[in-house]
Amino acid sequence: MPTAKKSSNINKSLELESDEEVSEVLDLLEKDAEKLPLSKGKLTNHRAYLAGPIDHADDDGVVWRQKITPLLESLGVMVLDPTDKPVSQCKFNEIGDEKDMIKKLVELERWDELRNIAKEIVLVDLRMVEVADFLIAYVDPDIHICGTYDEIFEALRHRKPTLIVHKGGKARMSMWLRGKLNHNFVFESFDELYAYLEALHDGTIDPDYTRWVFFDRV
């Protein structure tokens, strides 16, 4: 399996200055992932939850999730995506027509219905955080992300590996996040994150065993 260092596309720098740049580099990463056969390693059969803005994101938070999914699946990772919930009990993925419907309910001030919808969404999304082996979050400090922070802190409370791609890098992190997160788990680009996961998966780097747990039998 080619490593991130061997791929010119994966090594392309992602400064996260605009949605267009994020999309461009994720396109390149997705093309690389299509070439990668499923490999067995430390992350095989792990579950990753993808946290990040949805309701205030222009693309509903779909683009980066859809494009990082094949990269993770090439490592044998099961993806838990709140914009494509793998459960039938929750009708709401918060995107597309559903997002428009929620906006309409806000305009009509139908607070009880909104509360019931929100409770269902929160229950399922936090349950996915609970069952995930690790969490990947995209943090854009220019977007209000109440739910994302809740998911990050929930993962941290359970001592799960919590990996953050932060727009603008570590320099733009809030002081609260600096106090809660191990800065070594904060990445300035998606290609940097994937290079870390790939190296962890194939044993090139040692895990931080204060967070990572790998079971011999599950």
Residue tagged 């605009």 (tokens): 18
Q: φ and ψ at 132, to 5 degrees?
A: -70, 150
For residues 138 and 160, the answer to whether their CB atoms sit within 8 Å is no
- DSSP per residue, 44-73: TT-EEEEE---TTSTTTT-HHHHHHHHHHH
Q: What six digits make up the tokens of 198?
A: 């790939």
Least confident of 38-42, 70-74, 107-111, 134-138: 38-42
Residue 214 confidence (pLDDT) above 60: yes
Can you list the domains of the chain with their CATH numbers? 15-202 (3.40.50.450)
Query: What pLDDT is attached to residue 10?
Result: 40
Half-sphere exposure in the Cβ direction for 3 (13 Å, CA): 12
82 has pLDDT over 60: yes
Q: What is the distance between the alpha carbons of residues 142 and 65, in angstroms, rounded to a whole number?
A: 19
Check pLDDT > 50 for residue 87: yes
Q: Which of 7, 96, 79 is nearest to 43 (CA)?
A: 79
Which pLDDT score is estimated for 16? 46
Confidence band, pLDDT 50/70/90 cuts, at residue 162: very high
